[in-house]
Amino acid sequence: MKQYKMPKFAVLQLSGCAGCEVSLLNADEWIDQYQLVYMPLVVSAYSVPDVDVLLVSGGVRNNEDIHHLREAAKRAKKVVAVGTCAISGGISNLGNRDEVREVFLSQEERIHLPRLLPRSQPIDDFIEVDLYLPGCPPTPELFMALLLEKEDFKPSKTVCQECGRKKVPDMKPEHFVGFQAGEVLPDICLINQGYPCVGTSTRGGCNALCTKPGHPCVGCRGPSDAFIEKDSSAWLKSIQRVFEKMTNIPPEEIYETLRSPQLSLFLFQFSDYNQTGKPPRPKEKVL
Ligand code: SF4
Ligand code: SF4
């Protein structure tokens, strides 16, 4: 009898936080259907062997990242960029703060440390990517849809479509209340309650993980299909218009809030990317 040969997959972790790996490990349906052959967090192996699928998390922040990424990609039939960092550089750009940089560079003279790049870069600045899985991190369900190639899985166009909260036309806040203001009314849209929720034009697929329990969506799934092939400014303008229509918040306050650290990491992820001068990723390649 012919034996079923399980496809092999590897997880290459570059400069990131390991949140993507933890989320992947919470998605266990793949265990009987894939053989995990490399993932430093849980599987000991010196380097990435030949694999069917390579998941890459983390941004490219130093010269070792470039080396590991190029070597691993050569051995993979399909490469998937997983999470905000692999797609846009992400949280490791927080290391641009001068004091962190100084500590790192002073150590570099004494012991071998990888050489920092000026900024954290997306992996497709260095290799071809077959598929993008945005999220910070992508949920376990998204990992399962990816690995098991679930044909019935189709992310909703926006987080709003998965949220279930109702928009109330005459409930218009005068100002934002912040990201965590305490009490949240159930069933009513968070924008009506003064929260800076950007679920209106953020890609769905996360099952409105944050907004259902009352936390505003910060846009980690990236722009919806309508904006994915456009510059980030189109996405930002659309979000700004939603707040202008649904609230009485002054336009300057909306402008400032959309550029706050909580939101800008995600809202500018595609704008960051476009600084490289490359064409936007085709929406067909984004799960
Ligand atoms: S709370 Fe956010 S995601 Fe939910 S309906 Fe309102 S804008 Fe959309
Ligand atoms: S609700 Fe928004 S921030 Fe939360 S997981 Fe979904 S896309 Fe990300």
Cα 72 to Cα 50: distance, rounded to the nearest angstrom: 8
Domains of the chain, residue spans = 8-151, 160-274
DSSP string for 226-260: HHHTS-HHHHHHHHHHHHHHH----HHHHHHHHTS
* Residue type for position 9: F
Instruction: Give 8-151's CATH code, choosing from 3.40.50.700, 3.30.2350.10, 3.40.640.10, 3.90.1530.10.
Output: 3.40.50.700
Residue in the structure block whose two tokens are 């044909």: 151
| pLDDT the model gives residue 98 | 65
Q: How many CB atoms lie within 10 A of CB 141?
A: 18
CA 215 to ligand 1 center in whole angstroms:
10
pLDDT tens digits, 203-235: 999 999 999 999 999 999 999 999 988 888 888
Ligand nearest to the CA of 160: 1
More confident residue, 107 or 37: 37
pTM over 0.85: yes
Cα 165 to Cα 55: distance, rounded to the nearest angstrom: 34
Q: What is the mean pLDDT of the chain?
A: 88
Ligand 2 site, CB within 6 A = 159, 199, 202, 206, 208-211, 217-221
- In angstroms, the Cα distances linking 95 to 16, 60, 104, 265 are 11, 12, 10, 13
